[in-house]
């Protein structure tokens, strides 16, 4: 009897397993090849109210207006990035794969070489012109310095104490681009203004430390700064807290950060990861994908911008806005060259 029972159990389990394996072969819906888009997020994934979310918005936009289907992966540690890219590249239905963040640079280059039939794009790829890119890979870069120049100009025009601040996250070439553009913008409209600069640290942790951000901001406000621009990820949330406490202005970054401290966020320098993702998908869909190069998104391409909407219009005088818009045109025409260092 008992033997009978265990035999029965075994048969049930085995047939269950067999069913699982059986369904492997035909389980996947057969989408037409190379019709979908894959995306691998940076560690942190969706919900960071910043870059990953912007990339996700881009996918949504492509879904809504181009009718694209997409799949994404949120990897854990260092060895997962390459596996995740390969995982997506191995699927017949996927034709274009994104990596979000500079940390994908090495991984996506390797994977792109192994999958010459698929297209790849990497946001914030650290592009080294001396090393050629695989022909099926686009390096997406942003002219953060151009957007930073414009918010710098707003700060330079609006400061009453003639002192403004900049708080960066991790000290690195990428964040120094924000600083350089901002400083140039301030100086362009207000050569006598004083600019206080502070960085939260030299490691990746410097992007995740709101307490440190608040401390640095309080110190700059007490030294006379009345507007602070941050490029510090989550650390920047501390800057907004300080702004609210001191009743001074702060400038947000990456996305519109008005909601972090309504009334105290003068504007935000937005880096449109969503526009970049959407544009690349559109190019790819129209068979206009140009790999092997860096695709740069600046003011001209609407890849960077500053926020001026019904929330912050009361804070920024019309005359300031007009002057900054004039500067935008000058940058787009090439009359103003914005430094990156």
Partner 1 sequence: MTAKKHLPRLVGITSVLEHPITQNFLIPLFAVVLSFAVGAIFIVMVGKNPFEVYSILFSQTLGSTYGIGQLLFKTTPLIFAGLSVALCFRAGLFNIGAEGQLQIGAFLTALVGMKTFGVPFYLEIPLLMLAGMVGGGLWGFIPGYLKAKTGAHEVINTIMLNFIATALVSYFVTNLYNVPATVHTPPISPAGRLPRFDAFVSGFQGSPVNFSIFVALIAALFVWYYVDRTRYGYELRVVGLNSKAAEYGGISVSKNIILSMTIGGAIAGLVGTNFVMGYKYYFEEGFSTGTGFMGIAVALLGNNNPFGVILAALLFGMLEYGGLVINTMVPKELVSILQAIVIIFVISSNKIFRKILTNFLKKRTLSIND
Binding mask 95-114 for partner 1 (x = CB under 8 A): -------xx-xx----x--x
Tell me the CA end-to-end span of the chain in Å, nearest whole number.
Answer: 81
Using the contact rule CB under 8 A, the part of the chain among 60-68, 183-191, 197-205, 236-244 near partner 1 is 197-205
d(CA 46, CA 42): 9
89 vs 198 by CB, closer to partner 1: 89
Q: 35 Cβ partners below 8 Å, 6+ apart? A: 69, 93, 95
Tokens of 314: 């009361």
46 vs 247 by CB, closer to partner 1: 46
Contact between 14 and partner 1 per CB under 8 A: no
Backbone conformation region of residue 283, classed left if phi is above 0, alpha if psi is from -120 to 50, else beta: alpha
Contact between 33 and partner 1 per CB under 8 A: no
47 vs 262 by CB, closer to partner 1: 47
Q: List binders of partner 1 among 46-105 (CB under 8 A).
A: 71-80, 82-84, 86-88, 90, 102-103, 105
d(CA 324, CA 315): 14
Q: Give the containing element (helix H, strand E) for 327.
A: helix 318-333
Question: Total residues at the site for partner 1 (CB under 8 A)?
Answer: 47
- For 127-248, strand residue ranges (E) read 137-142, 163-170, 194-201, 227-231
44 vs 263 by CB, closer to partner 1: 44
φ/ψ of 285, rounded to 5, equals -65, -35
Q: List binders of partner 1 among 121-180 (CB under 8 A).
A: 126, 170, 172-174
Residues lying near partner 1 in the complex (CB under 8 A) are found at 1-2, 13, 16, 19-21, 23-25, 27-28, 38, 43, 45, 71-80, 82-84, 86-88, 90, 102-103, 105-106, 111, 114, 126, 170, 172-174, 202-205
């Amino acid at each position: 009897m008992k033997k009978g029972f265990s035999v029965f159990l075994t048969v049930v389990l085995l047939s269950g397993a067999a069913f699982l394996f059986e369904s492997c072969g035909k389980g996947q819906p057969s989408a037409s090849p190379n019709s979908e888009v894959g995306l691998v997020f940076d560690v942190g994934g969706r919900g960071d109210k910043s870059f990953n979310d912007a990339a996700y918005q881009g996918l949504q936009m492509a879904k809504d207006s181009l009718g694209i289907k997409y799949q994404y992966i949120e990897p854990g540690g260092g060895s997962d990035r390459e596996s995740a890219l390969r995982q997506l590249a191995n699927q017949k239905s996927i034709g274009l794969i994104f990596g979000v963040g500079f940390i994908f640079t090495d991984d996506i280059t390797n994977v792109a070489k192994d999958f010459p039939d698929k297209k790849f794009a990497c946001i914030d790829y650290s592009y080294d012109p001396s090393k050629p890119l695989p022909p099926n890979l686009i390096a997406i870069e942003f002219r953060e310095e151009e957007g930073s120049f414009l918010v710098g100009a707003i700060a330079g025009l609006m400061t009453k104490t003639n002192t403004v601040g900049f708080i960066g996250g991790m000290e690195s070439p990428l964040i120094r681009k924000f600083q350089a553009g901002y400083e140039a913008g301030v100086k362009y409209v207000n050569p006598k203004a004083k600019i206080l600069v502070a960085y939260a640290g030299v490691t990746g942790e410097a992007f995740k430390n709101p307490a440190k951000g608040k401390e640095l901001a309080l110190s700059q406000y007490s030294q006379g700064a009345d507007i602070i621009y941050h490029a510090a990820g989550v650390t920047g949330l501390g800057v907004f807290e300080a702004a609210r406490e001191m009743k001074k202005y702060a400038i947000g970054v990456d996305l519109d950060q008005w909601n972090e401290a309504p009334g105290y966020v003068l504007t935000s320098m937005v880096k449109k990861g969503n526009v970049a993702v959407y544009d690349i998908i559109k190019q790819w869909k129209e068979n206009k994908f140009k790999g092997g190069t860096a695709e740069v998104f600046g003011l001209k391409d609407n890849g960077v911008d500053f926020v001026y909407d019904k929330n912050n219009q009361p804070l920024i005088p019309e005359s300031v806005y007009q002057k900054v818009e004039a500067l935008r045109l000058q940058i787009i025409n090439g009359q103003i060259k914005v430094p990156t260092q």
